[in-house]
Amino acid sequence: MNTIAFIGLGNMGSPMVKNLLKAGCSVRVFDINETAAKALSPLGAVVAHSLEDAVKGVDTVITMLPAGEHVRAVYLGDHHGGVGLLNMVSANTFLIDSSTIDPDSARLVANEAHNKALEFVDAPVSGGVAGAEAGTLTFIVGGSNIGFQQAQKVLQHVGKNIFHAGQAGDGQMAKICNNLMLGIQMAGACEALSLGIDNGLDPKVLSDIMLQSSGRNWALELYNPCPGVMPNVPASNQYQPGFMSKLMLKDLGLGADAALKSQSAIPMGSLARNLYAFHNARGNEALDFSSIFKMYSKK
């Protein structure tokens, strides 16, 4: 049986662990928020009380952390002399980072892992909490062919589509492009729905029309940002996340960083990043990213 250490049990990590347990994997869980780890114990997860306790002797480590700084701290150690998990795991432990982070951090960790003869892949995901719960996530893997094949064996328990984007860091780059489009699309969906509401249209009727028209997109189809239009989405649950606005701002910032490096024009992505910066500065950063609808709404 595959023994997995899972680090980072937030909105995405916890449902992913549940699916690994359902698939019969033996899972050790660790989060700096011990309540999140304890909640998985009745389902069969073994709660670890330290990073070392979690990763020692396992076959595979999966991390699902907020941002690059957390991933670097967990794998390489923090700036206060803390040791990273690359120095804790046994030889042959396979390492998967599913957080969305900057490609340079992913390449740095991949390089350090390689120096210790450990296989590491970046494997960020798309599909949101609903995809994590249903086990239908899309994984976007960056790493060697061997790493990709190894990753498929584990990730098939939590995902439906598993892509090989290229070498180390390329999974992150593809994910950053995807989320640049998602941020633009979400802002666009909010704008169109609000314009319709302001001109007397019913947002449900307008959504149905756009879903069968050329304005159709993921936000409208699966994640309608207008309260009351769609059940079981954050908009109909006071914008509880979901995918927090602060994480969307992080991802749009990753897009902006990448664009600076490649001298690419991203006018729409830059605008979306600024909209999220405004929105978050007004106390919305822990709400779901679809809450940007409130910025457009006159009510």
Residues recognised as catalytic: 175
Pick 180 or 206: Cβ nearer ligand NAD: 180
Shortest Å, Cβ 48 to ligand NAD = 10
Residue 141 contacts residue 165 (beta carbons within 8 Å) = yes
With b for 16 or more beta-carbon neighbours within 10 A and e for fewer, the 233-247 pattern comes to bbbeeebebbbbbbb
- Measured CA to CA in angstroms, residue 135 lies from 17, 29, 123, 124 at distances of 10, 18, 15, 14
Site for ligand NAD, rule CB under 6 A = 7-13, 30-33, 36, 64-66, 70, 73-74, 99-100, 125-126, 128-129, 242-243, 247
Shortest Å, Cβ 250 to ligand NAD = 6
User: 64: which DSSP letter?
Assistant: -
SS3 of residue 28 by DSSP: strand
Pick 19 or 126: Cβ nearer ligand NAD: 126
The residue at minimum Cβ distance from ligand NAD is: 10
Shortest Å, Cβ 258 to ligand NAD = 15
Cβ-count burial of 283 within 10 angstroms (0-12 exposed, 13-18 middle, 19+ buried)? exposed
Shortest Å, Cβ 56 to ligand NAD = 15
Pick 32 or 281: Cβ nearer ligand NAD: 32
Shortest Å, Cβ 257 to ligand NAD = 15
d(CA 130, CA 16): 11
Residue 292 contacts residue 245 (beta carbons within 8 Å) = yes
Pick 7 or 229: Cβ nearer ligand NAD: 7
Pick 8 or 143: Cβ nearer ligand NAD: 8
d(CA 243, CA 189): 16
d(CA 151, CA 245): 29
d(CA 212, CA 38): 44
